[in-house]
Amino acid sequence: METKVMRDVFIQQVYYRMRDDRNIFFLCADFGSPKLDKLKEDFKDRFINVGIAEQNLINVSTGLALEGFTVYAYAIAPFLTMRAYEQIRINLSLHAQLREVNVNLVGVGAGLSYDVSGPTHHCLEDITIMKVLPNVEVFSPSDWVLAQGFVDYSIRVKKPKYIRLDGKPLPQIYNSMKDFKIERGFSELKKGKKLCLVSTGIMTHKALQVAKRLSEESINIGVIDVFLIKPLSEASFTKALRKYQAVITLEEGFINNGGLDSLVLQLINRKGIRIKFKNMGFSQRYVFDIGSRDYLHKLNKLDEGSIIKNIKALLRQP
């Protein structure tokens, strides 16, 4: 299983598509990747660095998309989503209700990807604030195979989308995208009894680790990776949840405020699923502590040990 940075794989795949398709633009707000250099070199007329100007990144992308181009707007996730939020709201979310606007917002640095850069670079709000916008889709891959596979979807589905990519190299989870549809939205990576973890992005890696450790103690838990947060295919997700008696959501984001946890909880309520529920993530505090991602997880009780403790407690409940 290969370890790769999803950003690089994604850009490489866009590069291949740009080679065959003259209708693709790639814009960035002075943010790079080793793979971007070649794209920039080979498609001089369709690559633009707009400068450190996220608002203009969205607006120029909108103009290009209104003229029929497929556009990738690439920047650091918190700046892309929060600096330019109103540009996204007006020109993408609102506009997409009236016209076709295929702008793909590619944000790098989901969650604590930029661990030591501090809270300005952390991105713990993006799932919540992007999924509230009508007509905008939200994609949160857990590995580079999904990220790569999303490129075809992003060209085919002509809507604004937010693609939240982790900034760190992560091992492969999925074998290939062959016979795999992004529209499925989630994947039950491990079937279990009684309890399942529902996670997105990097937390799916942690969920798989936890499941592995617990299986050594003969506790079999399920792991569901949600990658298309919006639109979520509700019917099949409900069906998957109904098999379990307890669910724990894991996200590298603020909880109790409209993130992945809210998505699951809302579905449970709406569909009347009888299931015990627990959510894990960050409480309403920014992270000023310095250290590795694992260290920060530990400080915020999102490490494997804490997850296992919560699982066991939930399983003990009558």
Binding site for other proteins (CB under 8 A): 45-46, 48, 50-51, 53, 55-56, 58-69, 86-87, 90-91, 94-95, 98-99
CA distances from 122 to 2, 113, 125, 163, 168 (A): 26, 7, 9, 16, 13
Nearer to other proteins, 19 or 309 (CB): 19
What distance in Å separates the CA atoms of residue 23 and residue 18, rounded to the nearest whole number? 8
Q: Is 261 helix (H, G, I), strand (E, B) or coil?
A: helix
Q: CB under 8 Å to 98, separation ≥6 — which residues? A: none
Residue pointed to by tokens 């990097």 = 202
Computed from CA positions of residues 29, 170, 224, 284, in that sequence, does the dihedral angle turn out positive or negative?
negative
Query: Which parts of 58-179 are beta strand (E)?
Result: 70-76, 103-108, 137-139, 161-165, 169-171
Residues in the chain: 318
Least separation, in Å, of the C-beta of 170 and other proteins? 33
Q: Which residue has the tokens 């982790």?
A: 166
* Beta carbons of 41 and 73 less than 8 angstroms apart: no
Return d(Cα 63, Cα 90) in angstroms, integer.
Answer: 13
